[in-house]
Structure 1
Amino acid sequence: MTTTQRSSPIAAGFHPDPSVVLVDGVYYLVNSTMEYLPALPVHRSTDLLEWTHIGNVVTRPEQVDLGDVPTPGGVWAPTIRYRDGVFYVIVTVALGGRGCVVFTATDPSGPWSDGLSLRAVDGIDPDLAWDDDGTAIVTYARYPHAIQQVRVDLATGEALEQPRPLWVGSGLSTPESPHLYRRGGYWYLLAAEGGTERGHAVTVARSSSPEGPWEGCPSNPVLTAAGTRRPVQNTGHGDLVETPDGGTALILLGVRPVGFTQAFSPLGRETFLTDVDWVDGWPRPRPVLLAGGPARQEAVFDFADPAALDDPGWIAVRRTPAEVASLDGATGRLCLAGDGAGLDARRPVFLGRRQRHLSATVTARVDATVGVGGLAARHDERHWFALEVRTEGSAAVVTARAALSGFERTWEATLPAGEVELAIELRQPSRDIRAMWTGGDHIRLCAAASGRRVVLAELDGRYWSFETANSFTGRVIGLYATEGMVTFADYAYSGTDQLPDADDGPSAAERSEEVA
């Protein structure tokens, strides 16, 4: 099975730290979500190529307790496993919250348990395995020095022994994201090293016992994109799984940097798939390639539909979508009630979805007659850009805002009062040497009403990329309110990953648009 030639990425946009399990011919994938709720999306596949988002592990705030967790903390690096009819997801709620927690379910689409805290696990990136007598083994990273391990009682959460050092890695920095497997006569310990940036790498060791001692692979790191021009960089944090034809695949994270210099990644860390060969008893993952997907993907949410918010891809910041948004059946609109908090707040009134393509357009029709709000793209509290509408007399005043590390710039335009269509346009730059584009993607912030359309701002996306924001997330584009009641008729997303030709400047249509 040549998976890499047919599907990559398999979970596009903000989907870091993947883990996968195969149960009765069906694959289930989970990812980190940091400060967003619901947390830990669960995707399902029967072939490792086509995936469906079937639910989320964390749907209730008390399952993780994110209220006081600072950015970039939150729900980090889950592992999903299965044993005796039960699915397990073990995860760390980092920098506060509940620490290491194990959730269980008999149906991976949910509902999941309230979670069992493992107080003995004082690190990150926990893995769950079982030894020959059925005792649960948790292997985790104790940043920044080494991989550790402890046996636990999954009925009580108590440790059955003192945690012990397991492996210091191959010599690269920051050994983390351990996963333990039994194959033939060996236990294999897969890990990530080199940090989650350009030096990210996959390393592996093996032993006859889950406790070690561990022999590192002579070819470590067995996978890295460091120092290459591959279109997928930062490859690491992987999980091994059997393919439908009996081979082995590696599910792992990576980023897709844009432009000639491949310096900036607007979508953050995504989930990729590559085949694994076994050479002399060691796993050798193949380089991660990109495969062509559909020319364009569309998603339109009409808020007159009472099921518009049932899609599991809606997320909010440190609270659930139901806590910030509601549908008004009488008007057919989505309602957000501002509470005075802006996008720089820890708990903004914001309802969003992941940007999944390198070129995308997101639009929303907003009425801010009795409130202030609009459409925004968020990395975290200090890195976001937005189109905000307020009403002054007979005019709708639209303000484009761009926030970067505490600095904020604004642009303003006036349109007729009433409903305004807001648009965030994101365009992947050409990699052609003639373009010599050294920044990020091209961003345009636009607004239209009563037949008049204006471009309020054009931005270089390098300032809102994984490398600059470095908040462990990716772009989430959504609706927000800061004051009063703001209502929305719809939310539409259109995206493609097709590369443009060398950038020759704005099109004729773009040149004819009014610039605020």
Structure 2
Amino acid sequence: MKYSNPVIKGFYPDPSVCKVEDTYYLVCSSFQYFPGVPLFESQDLINWTQIGHCLTRESQVQLGGVNSSGGVFAPTIRYHAGRFYMTTTNDTTRQNFYVWTDDIYSEWSEPVYVDQGGIDPDLYFEDGKAFFMSNGTGDDGIGGVVQCEINISTGAKRSPSRSIWQGTGGRYLESPHLYKIDGRYYLMAAEGGTEYGHMVVYARGDRLSGPFEAYPHNPVLTNRNLGGYELQGVGHGDLVQDGNGHWWMLHLGFRQIGRWLTYHHLGREVFLTPVTFGEDGWFTAGHDGLTLTLFTTDRIPETVRQRGKKLDTFENTDWALDWCYLRHPEKSNYKLQNDRLLLHGTDVALDEPASPTFIALRQKDFDATIACEVLLSAREEGEAGITLYMDENHHYDLAIRSGADGSRSVIKRLNIGDVKSVEQEIKLGREGAVRLLIRSGHERYHFFLVEDGREIPLGTAQTRYLSSEVAGGFTGVLIGLYAVGQDVSAEFTQFICEYV
């Protein structure tokens, strides 16, 4: 059968996967967004359904004052002795921790902290012992992939933290994962930075503490030399074996907006690539070490069909699964209903590293139509509408604005770095709900006010200014609904996000 990449679209970076019986479970990074660490399940590796989050309570993760692309970094999910573990880093507080659950569909524990630095932690279990890895610096001051034994009940170290591998020489060694396969230990990691030079590398050894011998043909997977190819930034992978003995890698990558336009704004996404072990015990990945947009494989039955959701509405999305907030929200400002959303604004604006009244979906494809009806109630200055949000300094807003004199208008505002500019404004002559419309393409967003079925254009904006190449950071564009102003309330209805 044929399957298309990515298998999970939009800003779901740094995937980690484990298999329990006939089901695969996958987690991703969430950074400053809450709830933290999206959790998915699949029966076939290509169709994934979100079933929850690992961090759903404020007590589990500190996000107050966290800047964009701070907070929760790359997680790892593992299963041992009937229990699921998810370990991750809060990069802002510089703490590594893990949470656990005996029921994957229920709540996860309070955090258990590990006194080892670095980021991108991993857990490995063997012979009743638990080992913790991260990329950082060992107790002896040597950097690289650092390992220690821990008490899995308390997180306390049972051995010194020691660097067991320094990688292959590429910059930003990260994402270490350890496996035991056919009697050998395999240590896989990423190098090159999570950008266009990203790559997966690995080594193997006879003991879990090393020494490790690097694969002679590293990197085992990278798209770094494919100029003009849509899929770029391939790296940060995790291995899993299916029920038929085949190996796969779930890893991140991103889609650039055009053949010669090296910008990406949808974020880093989840890709699936086949892995093959040779008779010599080394493995290869993908098509000659490349990840493709379309793979043909006999490893997945022809009866399996890859599904794709083309329409998001209030009615067919789940507020607790599909939507997210910036940092820890004040829940009293949100009323979430089946067919409508009621928001109460505060003085916190979208440009602040705080928690404005904001709830959002990840943008999952380039070509989309985004629209909703907005009814604004305001006694003072304020606004409410749709934001295409990358971070505090990079977002495009289409909103209804209320003036101190009671006037109302629809604005299109571009926020690009230090430039905050209302590019278009149309005065509204009547009360009542207003329909806002955005059409998204690879290279541009197009903004409209809809009145009496007539689309009134408010201009366009280039997608590249919301890209990681311009904004920096590790996230992607979210489609946010927001309200700003202490005396502002807004009702959102008839929301759609339809992908072509």
Q: Same fold (TM over 0.5)?
A: yes
Confirm or deny that 1:379 pairs with 2:390.
yes
1 CA distance for matches of 2:337 and 2:252? 39
1 CA distance for matches of 2:294 and 2:335? 38
Aligned partner of 2:312 in structure 1 is: 299
Aligned partner of 2:242 in structure 1 is: 243
Displacement of 1:180 = 0.2
Equivalent position SS for 2:74: strand
RMSD over equivalenced CA pairs, Å: 2.1
Deviations 1:296-346 (A, max 9, x none): 7112115xxxx96545011000024845421379xx642111111111012
Confirm or deny that 1:490 pairs with 2:494.
yes
Equivalent position SS for 2:196: coil
Confirm or deny that 1:123 pairs with 2:118.
yes
Confirm or deny that 1:53 pairs with 2:50.
yes
2 CA distance for matches of 1:243 and 1:466? 34
Unaligned runs of 5+ in 2: 296-305
| 8 Å CA contact 2:15, 2:250 repeated in 1 | yes
**Residues 134-213 of structure 1 correspond to what in structure 2 (within 5 A)?**
134-142=128-136, 145-213=143-211
Out of 11, 14, 18, the residue aligned to residue 11 of structure 2 is 14
Seen in structure 2, the aligned counterparts of structure 1 residues 470 and 311 have a Cα distance that, compared at 3 Å, is: same
Out of 320, 345, 351, the residue aligned to residue 338 of structure 1 is 345
| 8 Å CA contact 2:118, 2:135 repeated in 1 | yes
Deviations 1:251-301 (A, max 9, x none): 000000021304111201000001011132112111211139778711211
Aligned residues: 472
Aligned partner of 1:437 in structure 2 is: none
* TM-score, with structure 2 as normaliser: 0.90
1 CA distance for matches of 2:427 and 2:272? 47
1 CA distance for matches of 2:143 and 2:268? 23
| 8 Å CA contact 2:121, 2:176 repeated in 1 | yes
2 CA distance for matches of 1:290 and 1:102? 34
Deviations 1:101-132 (A, max 9, x none): 111111222211112111x221100000013x
2 CA distance for matches of 1:454 and 1:107? 51
Equivalent position SS for 1:50: coil
Seen in structure 2, the aligned counterparts of structure 1 residues 308 and 21 have a Cα distance that, compared at 3 Å, is: closer
Deviations 1:459-499 (A, max 9, x none): 11111112222221101101000011111113211113xxx
Aligned partner of 1:474 in structure 2 is: 476
Moved more, 365-374 or 231-240: 365-374
Confirm or deny that 1:290 pairs with 2:279.
no
Confirm or deny that 1:78 pairs with 2:75.
yes
| 8 Å CA contact 1:92, 1:125 repeated in 2 | yes
Seen in structure 2, the aligned counterparts of structure 1 residues 265 and 177 have a Cα distance that, compared at 3 Å, is: same
Displacement of 1:458 = 0.5
| 8 Å CA contact 1:44, 1:53 repeated in 2 | yes
* TM-score, with structure 1 as normaliser: 0.87
Seen in structure 2, the aligned counterparts of structure 1 residues 260 and 8 have a Cα distance that, compared at 3 Å, is: closer
Seen in structure 2, the aligned counterparts of structure 1 residues 365 and 246 have a Cα distance that, compared at 3 Å, is: same
- Percent identity over the alignment is 35
Moved more, 318-327 or 339-348: 318-327
2 CA distance for matches of 1:205 and 1:76? 24
Displacement of 1:244 = 3.4
Seen in structure 2, the aligned counterparts of structure 1 residues 270 and 325 have a Cα distance that, compared at 3 Å, is: same
Equivalent position SS for 2:67: coil
Aligned partner of 1:103 in structure 2 is: 99
Unaligned runs of 5+ in 1: 429-440, 497-516
Matching residue's letter, 2:463 = G
2 CA distance for matches of 1:270 and 1:327? 28
Aligned partner of 1:63 in structure 2 is: 60
**Residues 206-225 of structure 1 correspond to what in structure 2 (within 5 A)?**
206-225=204-223
Matching residue's letter, 2:128 = G
Equivalent position SS for 2:464: helix
2 CA distance for matches of 1:345 and 1:56? 25
2 CA distance for matches of 1:294 and 1:241? 21
2 CA distance for matches of 1:20 and 1:323? 35
Aligned partner of 2:431 in structure 1 is: 417
